[in-house]
Amino acid sequence: MAARLTDRQKKKIIADYVQLGSYNAAAKLNGVSNHTVKKVVSEAPETSKKLQQKKRQNTADILAYMDSTKGDVCEVLGICLAALKNPDKYAKSTPREIATTMAILIDKYTAHIGDNIADDQSEDALSKSLRELGEGLESDGD
């Protein structure tokens, strides 16, 4: 006969299920079957609801905190960008370090704007210069 789960184990299983959103994932994490997770979750609907509410509240709290510190983050980013703009840094850097820095900046910058630009909108200067550079590299390979 299988061992009985303690209240603590059941609460952890429910919490893991709420966090992961998957019976299978919660089962693997807790060393039980997915059937056991389904049973534990279905037997404690109030606990599950409370945990889901707590998760939503935690998400809202994090987003509020991020919004409240936006100015500080922008200030730090400004300091970092100013340091990156220093030509002396590049004179002392290897091509690999420079390429890595460029790739990170381009990836992070374009990750959030690429999907939002309509085809009929004009390109910004960075996008245009990168596209032209890419076209130039393609034509050199011909």
Model pLDDT, residue 136: 66
What CA dihedral angle connects 130, 136, 137 and 140, to 10 degrees? 180
Has residue 129 been placed in a domain? no
Q: Structural domain of residue 44, as residue ranges?
A: 7-67
46 domain residue, yes or no = yes
19, part of any domain: yes
What's this model's pTM, rounded to 2 decimal places?
0.45
Measured from the Cβ of residue 120, the count of other Cβ atoms closer than 10 Å reads: 5
Q: Which of 4-13, 96-105, 114-123 has the lowest mean pLDDT?
A: 114-123
Range scoring the smallest mean pLDDT among 34-38, 68-72, 106-110: 106-110
Are 70 and 77 within 8 A, CB to CB?
A: no
> Is 121 within a domain?
no
| Token code pair at residue 75 | 């200030």
DSSP letter at 32? Answer: S
